[in-house]
Amino acid sequence: MFDSTKVAVLGAGLMGCGIAQVFASHKLSVFLFDPFESARETALSKITSGIKSTGGDISATQYVNVVSDIEAAVANADVIIEAVPEKLALKQEVFRQIQPFVKSTAIVTSNTSVIPIKDIFDGLDFQNQVVGTHWWNPPYLVPLVEVVESEKSSTNVIKNMMALLTFVGKKPVHVKKDVPGFVGNRMQHALWREAIALVNDGVCTAEDVDVVVKNSFGLRLPQLGPIENADLIGLDLTLDIHNVILQSLNADKSPSPVLQDQVAKNNLGVKTGQGFLSWNEHRIQKVRDDLNTYLLNVTQQRG
Ligand SMILES: NC(=O)c1ccc[n+]([C@@H]2O[C@H](COP(=O)([O-])OP(=O)(O)OC[C@H]3O[C@@H](n4cnc5c(N)ncnc54)[C@H](O)[C@@H]3O)[C@@H](O)[C@H]2O)c1
């Protein structure tokens, strides 16, 4: 059904290359656009090493055409996936630029992490053709893609995008309201807000926040979601717990002082060698390698 689907990916960075890899690995033709030569030059080698890391067939790169002409990328595309930097004005500009070339049957998507989809497509002609598709990094290992319905998204566009993502081996979830952060990032950042608040308030060290997560509920999460877990312990107990704890959980509407302070000191984490934790090359590489190995094992076990 999708064998002849042509996909355009706009932005050949971390996510764009990974997303292109997923479609190419299922033998779908991909046009990968980036305005920067440096990004275009490295795109195929990034995709090749992504494929190698999963033990896949690198001949899939034959399905990827890296292009410098945005019209050539989108004019025949059945699906257009934007993966440019997370800046609203830039995303709006890219969609204004392609508007004259988008087929009336094409599905048009943004891979924004948190920006509401309606803000990105505001004022454009093809609003019934748009959905958010929030992929997770690395796109070729993490199964979930959140398919975000915007106010004007047509039912068919949602249905067809979900079907295409299933065809290429992804686990799509229909997000029915266009809320910032969708489902996954809302939950993730609720946890990060509390984690950083615990450090800010001196309840435990930054190191110990991660020790607690990795040695307790974090172990269960891949197997037992929070809703299943609430049902399992009983909703009466969940209610009793919430009656006590919710009033003391952090509910700040702005970033924690300790986070703002670290950024003001240029303690940005691995980028500068110091964040909440101290980083050297060996530690950075080990964390990345261990994570990729873990994700590969988990996804291969699930099949
Ligand atoms: N990095 C992640 O973990 C992650 C996860 C999920 C979603 N996202 C989202 O995906 C999007 C891309 O993130 P990324 O991490 O791949 O960024 P990135 O910086 O690695 O890549 C962005 C690419 O876009 C290109 N670009 C810049 N201007 C462009 C333009 N006008 N037209 C086309 N391409 C242009 C850049 O040259 C670069 O290659 C962002 O919206 C981000 O929030 C990122």
ipTM score: 0.99
- Residue 300: what pLDDT? 86
Q: Give the distance (Å) from ligand 1 centre to CA of residue 233.
A: 41
User: 107-110 and 6-10 as β-strands: parallel, antiparallel, unpaired?
Assistant: unpaired
Q: Has 207 been labeled as part of a binding site? A: no
Q: Has 187 been labeled as part of a binding site? A: no
Please list every protein residue whose CB sits less than 6 Å from any atom of ligand 1: 10-16, 33-36, 39, 83-86, 90, 94, 111-113, 135-137
Q: Is residue 35 within 8 Å of 106, Cβ to Cβ?
A: no
- Residue 166: what pLDDT? 98
Q: Give the distance (Å) from ligand 1 centre to CA of residue 172.
A: 21
Residues contacting 91, CB < 8 A, separation 6+? 82, 84, 110, 112, 115, 120
Q: Is residue 209 within 8 Å of 198, Cβ to Cβ?
A: yes
Hey, what domains does the chain have and what are their CATH numbers?
Answer: 6-175 (3.40.50.720), 184-302 (1.10.1040.10)
- Residue 287: what pLDDT? 97
- Residue 301: what pLDDT? 86
Q: What is the pTM of this model?
A: 0.94
- Residue 91: what pLDDT? 98
Q: Ligand 1, residues 37, 68, 71, 113: which to mutate, most atoms within 8 A of Cβ?
A: 113
Q: Give the distance (Å) from ligand 1 centre to CA of residue 20.
A: 13
Q: Ligand 1, residues 15, 70, 99: which to mutate, most atoms within 8 A of Cβ?
A: 15
- Residue 70: what pLDDT? 97
Taking the CA of residue 13 as reference, the ligand 1 atom at the shortest distance is: 21
Taking the CA of residue 90 as reference, the ligand 1 atom at the shortest distance is: 31
- Residue 71: what pLDDT? 97
- pLDDT tens per residue, the chain (303 residues)? 898 999 999 999 999 999 999 999 999 999 999 999 999 999 999 999 999 999 999 999 999 999 999 999 999 999 999 999 999 999 999 999 999 999 999 999 999 998 999 999 999 999 999 999 999 999 999 999 999 999 999 999 999 999 999 999 999 999 999 999 999 999 999 999 999 999 999 999 999 999 999 999 999 999 999 999 999 999 999 999 999 999 999 999 999 999 999 999 999 999 999 999 999 999 999 999 999 999 999 888 887
- Residue 1: what pLDDT? 81
Taking the CA of residue 93 as reference, the ligand 1 atom at the shortest distance is: 31
Q: Is residue 180 within 8 Å of 116, Cβ to Cβ?
A: yes
- Residue 303: what pLDDT? 72
Taking the CA of residue 15 as reference, the ligand 1 atom at the shortest distance is: 16
Q: Has 14 been labeled as part of a binding site? A: yes
Taking the CA of residue 114 as reference, the ligand 1 atom at the shortest distance is: 43
Q: Has 86 been labeled as part of a binding site? A: yes
- Residue 89: what pLDDT? 97
Q: Give the distance (Å) from ligand 1 centre to CA of residue 286.
A: 24
Q: Has 267 been labeled as part of a binding site? A: no
